[in-house]
């Protein structure tokens, strides 16, 4: 017979303690291994490619919104006779830093049992994972001032650029109302307090006739090289047109005082044409465009009564009635709930209604015009062609 198994309370307790210790050790080892695997995966991955789509969208949206707010604020400041300040976002550098720290430790009982004893350490397994993520973008701003301000803001838009916008499909009446002071001696509306005056009736009649000709599809444009170094931009009208368009073409010639028998006309920068074969356009600079648009801002009556700002001028009276302002900017004490763009100024909110589609388009258009005022290469005088009938 084999030796008898003697079961005592001490042996039962030791067996239970050993089993519990083994379970704790097993769980601790599994947890440590899991943390270690997660840490290694975090340390081995890269964040660069995954941030491109997010950063590009976020930064482009932020720059666009800030550009709109800056333009709006400068319009309001010019309306009050204040100084407009332009800051360009010169460069955006986004830098990321990822640091991962992993540590693990283990202490094992060398005596083979796990009964608590002051001189015998228990089995111990420990692991820790740490990390730090840092997003540190660098943004540089370039103020528009000095010679760059004079060249960008005070240089008139070339007449060829005006014709290019018309060719691109922009309404000819809106383009000329916005960007031209005088066409062959016919005065457009002038905003601002120094030389404010309404547009001449003949100028507004010219706009209506030009718009009807454009809607008929009779306006075209082509580029012609006059010599190896210069090119001329030509605005052409189709020869075969319906009688209504022919009448408008004849009216355009009469209003401009040009030769009714000629088919092409030189377009030059100036206020008065030198002969009957020339059309002179006195175009506006970006600063003049902004001053004129600012005159359409509906300022608070309290500010007008306190003589802080001049009242808004009456709308021009065209052949078909009052003309809609090129841009409608409202003001209110309360923050608007549905605004396309809004800025605070002198305890009021100035804003464009998001449901005002013409004003939204015009606001976006003037921001696009700023790309046309940079000085470029010398351009040859464009040629305007009008059908004879």
pLDDT in tens, the chain (389 residues): 555 555 455 554 555 555 555 655 566 556 656 655 655 555 445 555 666 666 666 767 777 788 888 899 999 999 998 887 777 766 666 665 655 555 655 555 544 444 444 444 455 555 565 656 566 667 776 766 666 776 778 888 888 888 888 888 889 999 999 999 999 999 999 887 767 788 999 999 999 999 988 888 777 666 666 655 555 556 666 666 777 788 888 888 899 998 887 777 778 888 888 888 888 999 999 889 999 999 989 999 999 999 999 988 888 888 878 889 999 999 999 999 999 999 999 999 999 999 999 999 999 998 888 766 654 444 455 555 544 44
Does 207 fall in a domain?
Answer: yes
Report field, pTM of the whole predicted structure over 0.75: no
Which helix (DSSP H) or strand (DSSP E) does residue 252 occupy? helix 243-256
Does 4 fall in a domain?
Answer: no
List, in order, residues 6 or more apart from 5 with CB less than 8 Å away: none
Domain carrying residue 126: 11-142
Which helix (DSSP H) or strand (DSSP E) does residue 224 occupy? strand 219-227
Q: Which of 234, 168, 276 is nearest to 379 (CA)?
A: 234
Query: Are 41 and 188 within one domain?
Result: no
Which helix (DSSP H) or strand (DSSP E) does residue 350 occupy? strand 348-353
CA 49 to chain centre: 25
**What is the domain count for the chain?**
2
Residue that finishes a domain, picked among 119, 142, 165: 142
Residue that finishes a domain, picked among 124, 142, 160: 142
The two beta strands, 264-269 and 278-283, are parallel
Taking every pair of Cα atoms in the chain, the longest distance, rounded to a whole number of angstroms, is 138
DSSP tag of 383:
E
Q: Which of 195, 194, 198, 199 is nearest to 81 (CA)?
A: 194
Residue that finishes a domain, picked among 142, 172, 193: 142
Query: Are 101 and 169 within one domain?
Result: no
Helix, strand, or coil here: 126? strand
Structure tokens at 172: 């000819």
Does 211 fall in a domain?
Answer: yes
Number of Cβ within 10 Å of residue 386's Cβ equals 25
């Amino acid at each position: 017979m084999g030796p008898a198994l003697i079961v005592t309370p001490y042996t039962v307790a030791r067996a239970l303690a050993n089993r519990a210790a083994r379970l704790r050790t097993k769980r601790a080892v599994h947890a440590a291994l899991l943390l270690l695997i997660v840490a290694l995966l975090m340390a081995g991955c890269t964040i660069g490619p995954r941030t491109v789509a997010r950063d590009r969208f976020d930064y482009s949206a932020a720059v666009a919104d800030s550009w709109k707010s800056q333009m709006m604020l400068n319009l309001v400041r010019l309306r009050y006779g204040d100084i407009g300040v332009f800051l360009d976002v010169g460069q955006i550098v986004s830098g990321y830093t990822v640091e991962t720290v992993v540590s693990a430790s283990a202490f094992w009982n060398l005596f083979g049992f796990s009964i608590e004893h002051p001189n015998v350490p228990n089995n111990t397994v420990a692991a820790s994972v740490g990390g730090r993520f840092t997003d540190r973008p660098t943004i540089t701003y370039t103020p528009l001032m000095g010679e760059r301000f004079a060249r960008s803001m005070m240089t008139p838009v070339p007449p060829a650029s005006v014709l290019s916008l018309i060719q691109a499909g922009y309404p000819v009446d809106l383009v000329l109302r916005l960007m031209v002071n005088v066409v062959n001696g016919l005065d457009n509306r002038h905003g601002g307090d120094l030389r404010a005056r309404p547009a001449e009736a003949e100028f507004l009649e010219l706009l209506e006739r030009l718009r009807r000709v454009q809607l008929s599809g009779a306006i075209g444009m082509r580029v012609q090289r006059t010599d190896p170094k210069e090119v001329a931009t030509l605005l052409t009208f189709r020869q075969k047109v319906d009688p209504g368009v022919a009448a408008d073409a004849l009216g355009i010639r009469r209003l401009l005082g040009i030769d009714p028998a000629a088919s092409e006309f030189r377009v030059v920068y100036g206020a008065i044409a030198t002969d009957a074969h020339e059309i002179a356009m006195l175009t506006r600079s970006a600063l003049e465009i902004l001053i004129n648009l600012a005159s359409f801002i509906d300022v608070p009556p309290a500010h007008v009564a306190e003589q802080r700002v001049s009242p808004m001028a009456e709308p021009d009276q065209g052949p078909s009635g009052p003309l809609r302002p090129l841009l409608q900017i409202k003001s209110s004490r309360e923050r608007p709930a549905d605004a396309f763009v809004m800025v605070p100024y002198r305890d009021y909110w100035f804003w464009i209604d998001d449901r005002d589609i013409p004003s939204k388009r015009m606001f976006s258009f003037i921001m696009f015009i700023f790309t046309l005022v940079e000085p470029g290469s010398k351009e040859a005088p464009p040629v305007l062609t009008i059908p004879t009938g």
